[in-house]
Structure 1
Amino acid sequence: MKQISIDIETYSSTNLNQTGVYRYADSDDFELLLFGYATDFGPVKVVDLTQGEKIPPQIIEVLDNPNIIKSAFNAQFERVCLSRFVGHRLKPTGWHCSRVWSATLGLPLSLRDIGSVLGLPRQKITAGKELVRYFCTPCKPTKANQNRTRNFPYHAPDKWQQFKQYNQRDVEVEMEITQKLECFPVPQNEWENYWMDQDINDRGIRIDQQLVNNAIKCQNVFHDQYLQTAKELTGLANPNSPLQLKDWLQQQGIKTNSLSKASVAQLLQTTTGTVHQVLALRQLLSKSSVKKYQAMQKAMCQDGRVHGLLQFYGANRTGRWAGRLVQVQNLPRNSMPDLEEARELVKQGNVPALAMLYDSVPDVLSQLIRTAFIPSKNHHFYVADFSAVEARVIAWLSNEKWRQESFAKNEDIYCASASQMFGVPVVKHGINGELRQKGKIAELALGYG
């Protein structure tokens, strides 16, 4: 055996989309339902574990064998779930992901769309989504279903047979994708990058649970206070409603088509009195920093860590990693001089002190997001960042001398690009500084063909 193609169906009461596969598989009620596989592109076999069938021992052994390719679409899901099933971590080496393979060629990231684009003779079964919802997620208890919270195969035998066919078809489609793409192999070093990515995601990162929990509590307290103040000032039932607030503003002589972050910031520059106060409250109420804390809380596994924060080739046109769940590639910066003191107040849930010391608690919580990630005991984080690394490498690869010279002089590459584009000098926070953003967009967008 050189290769095995795999697709599985599972059950967990944890919401996969909200928590990611690691927390999903970490759920106490996680269960492997179906194991579909084919060896060396042979016929597909489906093991129905709900009926007492067993995965052959030699197949279990293959899962740990780095010399045999394990191929799956979104292989991380199969590998993490099967790790839970076998009781130990399956190392990524030897696992190939046909979604990653497709992404390297700029193809879509869903099995159905890839099958359609490639014109495969067998397509993903469209009814499968409903079958997954029926068997793989909890159901709402009703009189009609005798108040059960989960659907088992015996509740709908016909659907279960369709579900097994769906599992079989997914293996077949995955194999056909692999065979279609054989002429465009992924370089070995890129698979090694994928395995490294999987190691990073498997390791995860530790979360300060007390800080996260109390940050959410603090946000809720201040959110309620801000909302109550806004109600008293406006007389509105829900001043957080854009429609209601726009009507109220119009009654105050302020007409606006939008209450976006930028629009509110602009209005704050030209308003005074109660209107200004209400808009400032609107700004505080719309602060979404707590969402990242909530994402951490939902995704955190029993080991106190969040996993699966990066998706390899998540941006399939450029090959860049994509942030998932907490979006660690887009964390607010912190510039507070008393960051440690503020962090301790939030961690202890000291609401009165926060209210007394800080004008904007949501801003404090936003700046503390990075500090919710903590090293393991007796370890330290060392933070480093490459400066304009993509632009530098692309300038070198393309042998574009003026860009290389710009970097050698330690110039701002976005200003330099904008200056070349518009034929005028561009200085950050200076002359024609507004053009810098256009230079940045061009620099980041046009480096890839």
Structure 2
Amino acid sequence: MKKKHINIDIETKSSADIGKTGLYRYALDPDFDILLFAYKTVNTDVTVVDLANGEKIPEKILRALQDPSWVKHAYNAAFEWFCLNQYGIQTPLEQWKCTMIHSMYCGYPASLEASGKALGLPQNKRKLATGKALIRYFCVPCKPTKANGGRNWNLPRHDLEKWGLFKEYNGQDVVTEQEILRRLNQFPVPEKEWEQWRMDVQMNAFGVRIDTNLVQGALTIDSVSTQALTEDAVRITGLSNPNSTAQLLDWLGREGVELPNLQKATVTETLEKEGIPDDVRRVLEIRQQLGKTSVKKYVAMDTAKCEDDRIRGLTQFYGANRTGRWAGRLVQMQNLPRNYLKTLESARNLVKQKNYAAVKALYGNVPDTLSQLIRTAFIPSEERKFVVADFSAIEARVIAWLAGEQWVNEVFATHGKIYEATASQMFHVPIEKIVKGNPEYALRQKGKVATLALGYQGGTAALIAMGALNMGLSEDELPDIVARWRGANPRIRDLWYAVEEAALQAMHTAQPQAIRGLIFRLEGDLIYGQSFLTVQLPSGRKLFYPKPFLQENQFGKMAIHYYAVGQQSHKWEVTSTYGGKMTENIVQAIARDCLAETLSRIHALGLPVAFHVHDEVIIDAPMDVTVDQICKLMADPISWAPGLILKGTGFENGYYMKD
């Protein structure tokens, strides 16, 4: 059946702030409505249906929304799909494709405006800049005033000129989206990735249940704790506002403790020193506790939860541009604080009872206790349990498999003690001696930090960033650790240089280069002048480096440069890469594909995944599902990765936690 294509964009209204609640809570709000529906087929002009003024979507388009012979395209298609279904227009997700995901797959920015600019769309094909003001005017509630007649919403009749511009803006979004798709069609997203995207949308729509009593208790206790800590600081310092950086620095100076700033690291470092006056120490501890921003995640949960106490939309498919990993949204699950409390259940119950005095008496540091309980606010559905399974040391496994570092592969195939085995290889000590109680056990720490830090061509700075100095290692011994680790892992070391050489050769010769199951290509098109350095992974998926060119880097070495969204600037700009960095991208991307494979297997069993974080899957499971079943799924061989030895570890529980 020959497929027909239609591009769609809608404009909507809701009382929910989509930036704080996400799409699903936004569309489930009682005030939600669709105002405009714009569409365009390949050979027709844009049509904008003014639903707010009573126009109807043509019957043939309504039929097309359900017809599998029509592929529906939209930019952030999850939005259009969910909103249309919520509006009463049934349209199956299987028939949709997302141009935003296509853009991100090819290494371009996520937003429609930024993607259009990065792709070099002509001005008349780009997103109109007038949109934000018009969305503020028509799509969010307005403040009732005497001048506006006490109304809560601006309707089309309140400003016909603005409404005309809004319709033009809506139509132009479809033009821009179609032009982006036209340029990306020569670089298709694999069908397996579209299946993964649809699973992600369904997972986000399913959501995860929140323990509302715990969230409300945490917010109440945090409010009491903040007031008590602030009052304590005022009593000690005599300052009108001890939260003021300027006032507090001045007070500290008068107390004989001069600090350059009150940043988290500075306060922590100062508290580790001896001889600080008791009052100063207490005030800095208060500053530290009041700065516990992770408690704000409770606010995010409370804002984003729907009427059924579920949060929806916690992950962004392909959110990590270079590797294709998922990114966190709303509560930012990727950076949840760890929990170390031995009595989590008791702490949870006290917080649910809003018992500030007991939490303070038993645990001392109230903000830290609340922070440790954040994970436990996520709970399974009624009469279900969480089955949580995590890939064990997946990056170390993948890089050893990819490089052919046989001794590491053998460790993972047998006892799995990679830190002890690494220390044994580095220091030529029998692994049997690296056990607790023996002096050789201290070497395990060096093996651990080296394994975690040095796989991607890092040196002493990478060890320090991984916390080597906090582990009690001195800076003087770090170069020796780097040299020993590289000597023990020659195949991994060679992989960095092989990856860099293959990428450079692909750039120099425009001919494909194949190494270790990877294919490096220089790809482009003659019509629009796009170009990419691509790396085809064992799974068949590709990594994209847009607009690549060769140029000397800061070290005077010829290096690959390409365009990307800067991590600091958030702008589309030139960046450079090298063998170790590309190896990191590749290894993390393969690890991501292993997770995707596991998600497909879980989906095939009909089990709902509530969410996943890094390499960990959290299943909203019936009581008869066991963690052993899921860990076995994770360890089963993957067809495109023969010889890759994977292992899952996990637990079952009535709430989420770090095991």
Amino acid at match of 2:349: E
Q: 1:10, 1:34 within 8 Å by CA — same for their partners in 2?
A: yes
Please identify, of 71-80 and 410-419, the stretch whose mean Cα deviation from structure 2 is larger: 410-419
Matches within 5 A, 1:143-292: 143-270=146-273, 271-292=276-297
Q: 1:20, 1:325 within 8 Å by CA — same for their partners in 2?
A: yes
The match for 1:371 is 376
Q: 2:408, 2:418 within 8 Å by CA — same for their partners in 1?
A: no
Instruction: For residue 147 of structure 1, report the CA deviation from its aligned partner.
Output: 3.3
Specify whether residues 91 and 346 from structure 1 end up closer, same or farther in structure 2 by C-alpha distance, changes over 3 A only: farther
Equivalent of 2:55 in 53, 56, 59: 53
Specify whether residues 114 and 129 from structure 1 end up closer, same or farther in structure 2 by C-alpha distance, changes over 3 A only: same
Specify whether residues 97 and 293 from structure 1 end up closer, same or farther in structure 2 by C-alpha distance, changes over 3 A only: same
Q: Percent of pairs identical after alignment?
A: 49
SS in 2 for 1:71: strand
Distance 2:66 2:395 in 1: 36
Instruction: For residue 218 of structure 1, report the CA deviation from its aligned partner.
Output: 0.7
Equivalent of 1:382 in 381, 387, 407: 387
Show structure 1 runs of 5+ residues with no match.
none
Matches within 5 A, 1:18-29: 18-29=20-31
1:415 aligns to 2:453 (yes or no): no
Amino acid at match of 2:295: V
Distance 2:474 2:407 in 1: 20
What's the C-alpha RMSD, in Å, of the aligned pairs?
A: 2.7
Distance 2:71 2:478 in 1: 50
Q: 2:458, 2:580 within 8 Å by CA — same for their partners in 1?
A: no
Q: 1:4, 1:41 within 8 Å by CA — same for their partners in 2?
A: no
Distance 1:396 1:65 in 2: 45
Instruction: For residue 342 of structure 1, report the CA deviation from its aligned partner.
Output: 0.8
Distance 2:256 2:321 in 1: 48
Distance 1:407 1:443 in 2: 23
Show structure 2 runs of 5+ residues with no match.
420-446, 486-578, 587-659
Matches within 5 A, 1:396-411: 396-399=401-404, 404=409, 410-411=418-419
SS in 2 for 1:70: strand
Matches within 5 A, 1:314-329: 314-329=319-334
Q: 1:290, 1:366 within 8 Å by CA — same for their partners in 2?
A: yes
Query: How many residues align structurally?
Result: 445
Matches within 5 A, 1:61-76: 61-76=63-78
Q: Which one has a larger percent strand, Structure 1 or Structure 2?
A: 2
Instruction: For residue 355 of structure 1, report the CA deviation from its aligned partner.
Output: 2.4
SS in 2 for 1:258: coil
1:107 aligns to 2:115 (yes or no): no
Distance 1:153 1:406 in 2: 68
Instruction: For residue 177 of structure 1, report the CA deviation from its aligned partner.
Output: 0.7
Give CA deviations for 1:157-191 in whole Å, capped at 9, x if unaligned. 01101110110000011011111111100010111
The match for 2:79 is 77
Instruction: For residue 209 of structure 1, report the CA deviation from its aligned partner.
Output: 0.8
Distance 1:67 1:114 in 2: 28
Q: 1:7, 1:170 within 8 Å by CA — same for their partners in 2?
A: yes
Instruction: For residue 4 of structure 1, report the CA deviation from its aligned partner.
Output: 1.7
Equivalent of 1:348 in 333, 349, 353: 353
Specify whether residues 373 and 36 from structure 1 end up closer, same or farther in structure 2 by C-alpha distance, changes over 3 A only: same
Q: 2:292, 2:367 within 8 Å by CA — same for their partners in 1?
A: yes
Distance 2:301 2:68 in 1: 32
Instruction: For residue 390 of structure 1, report the CA deviation from its aligned partner.
Output: 3.5
Amino acid at match of 2:186: C
Distance 2:221 2:460 in 1: 51
Amino acid at match of 2:61: I
Instruction: For residue 290 of structure 1, report the CA deviation from its aligned partner.
Output: 2.1
Distance 2:331 2:116 in 1: 30
Instruction: For residue 58 of structure 1, report the CA deviation from its aligned partner.
Output: 3.8
Distance 2:18 2:181 in 1: 26
Q: 2:460, 2:478 within 8 Å by CA — same for their partners in 1?
A: no
1:448 aligns to 2:484 (yes or no): no
Q: 2:20, 2:303 within 8 Å by CA — same for their partners in 1?
A: yes
Q: 2:7, 2:178 within 8 Å by CA — same for their partners in 1?
A: yes
Distance 2:196 2:116 in 1: 26
Give CA deviations for 1:195-217 in whole Å, capped at 9, x if unaligned. 11111101100011111111101
Amino acid at match of 2:151: R
SS in 2 for 1:381: strand
Distance 1:71 1:363 in 2: 46
Equivalent of 1:33 in 26, 32, 35: 35
SS in 1 for 2:128: coil
Give the TM-score taking structure 2 as reference length.
0.63
Distance 2:293 2:458 in 1: 36
Distance 1:261 1:165 in 2: 48
Instruction: For residue 93 of structure 1, report the CA deviation from its aligned partner.
Output: 1.7
SS in 1 for 2:418: coil
Instruction: For residue 362 of structure 1, report the CA deviation from its aligned partner.
Output: 1.0
